[in-house]
Amino acid sequence: MSEHPSAAGSVRRVGNRAPSGQPDPTTHAETGHSRTILLTGSQGRIGTALRRLLPELGWRLRTFDRAVGADVVGELTDAGALDAAMAGVEAVVHLAGQPTEAPWPTIRESNIDGCFELFEAARRAGVRRVVFASSNHAAGFTPRGEGELPPETPPRPDTLYGVSKVFGEALGRYYRDRYGFTVACLRIGTFGDRPRDHRALATWLSPEDCAQLVDRCLRSPELGYAVIWGVSANSERWWSLANPVGYRPSSNAADSQPADPAVLPTDALVGGEFTTPEYGIDQIAAKGERA
């Protein structure tokens, strides 16, 4: 396991200390050892950043991915692999999945069946806190209006991918109400080291803010079920930062110059280019056949 046994005492802690008098949720009160969380999708873009940043915030990680390098290498549809990954962890950060539009069988396998298997494995293991990587594409056809878009903006998926994220959010709500889970669904904007285009000046989520957001969701005693926009403190932002976990981002896309500053009409919709006809079911299927 890529765990960091001395995390409680010797690593650099980037803020987020527990208020005095309250137990630090990253450590066991009796042993002082760090608590272990499961990070799925650990070998991907966001997972790679969180493998570096979450231990700095006090968390031990067990990692799960279909890609070589994870502590447990397996498919989300493999219940046995998920049981092995889930044993003894305190919470799950669920990033693994198909991260963009794709033909339905691909979406269904990773983001529908795989997401269900993940929640079921958590239930079997008695793990009751899940931080789910949803997406802005769950509400992608929502147009920009007056004021900020609230976190509870209704589903308006722009793709089958967006539909699958709505499913994950609904699954989280169901496990909250039926089984008492604590669930945060992060409608992530555009994750990356820097904003790459005009849209990202509004939608960018920096690695540091992403780690802070996940950390807050893992430790918040106030969290029950929440949908939260995963976005940095961008000057051009039009999605609300309101959240029940105390997330206060510090990065601002306006501090960088995007490589592609062209303004597109789709920048006025939450989902950007995913709302264009090229992301239709037939168009994506045809692309897959050519690939």
Ligand X SMILES: NC(=O)c1ccc[n+]([C@@H]2O[C@H](COP(=O)([O-])OP(=O)(O)OC[C@H]3O[C@@H](n4cnc5c(N)ncnc54)[C@H](O)[C@@H]3O)[C@@H](O)[C@H]2O)c1
Smallest gap from Cβ 18 to ligand X, in A, equals 27
Segment near ligand X (CB under 6 A), from 187-195, 207-215, 221-229, 277-285?
187-195
Supply the minimum distance, in Å, between the C-beta of residue 133 and ligand X.
Answer: 3
Asked if residue 135 binds ligand X (CB under 6 A), the reply is yes
55 or 99: CB nearest ligand X: 99
Of the chain, the end-to-end C-alpha distance in Å amounts to: 36
Report the nearest approach of ligand X to the CB of residue 173 (Å): 18
- Smallest gap from residue 179 Cβ to ligand X (A): 22
| 44 lies in the site for ligand X, by CB under 6 A | yes
Indicate whether 43 belongs to the interface with ligand X (CB under 6 A): yes
- Say whether 174 is catalytic: no
Cβ-proximal residue to ligand X, closest one: 44
Q: Does 72 bind ligand X (CB under 6 A)?
A: no
Site string for ligand X, 80-109 (x = CB under 6 A): ---------------xxxxx----------
Q: Which stretch binds ligand X (CB under 6 A): 5-13, 142-150, 188-196, 231-239?
A: 188-196
Three-state SS across the chain?
A: CCCCCCHHHHCCCCCCCCCCCCCCCCECCCCCCECEEEEECCCCHHHHHHHHHHHHCCCEEEEEECCECECEECCCCCHHHHHHHHCCCCEEEECCCCCCCCCHHHHHHHHHHHHHHHHHHHHHHCCCEEEEEEEHHHHCCCECCCCCECCCCCCCCCCHHHHHHHHHHHHHHHHHHHHCCEEEEEEECEECCCCCECCHHHHEECHHHHHHHHHHHHHCCCCCEEEEEECCCCCCCCECCCCCCCCCCCCCHHHCCCCECCCCHHHHECCHHHHCHHHCHHHHHHHHHHC
Q: Is 114 in the site for ligand X (CB under 6 A)?
A: yes
Which of 4, 35, 66, 216 binds ligand X (CB under 6 A)? It is 66
Closest distance of CB 67 from ligand X, Å: 4
Residues that bind ligand X (CB under 6 A): 41, 43-47, 65-67, 75-76, 95-99, 110, 114, 133, 135, 188, 190-191
Q: Write out the catalytic residue numbers.
A: 161
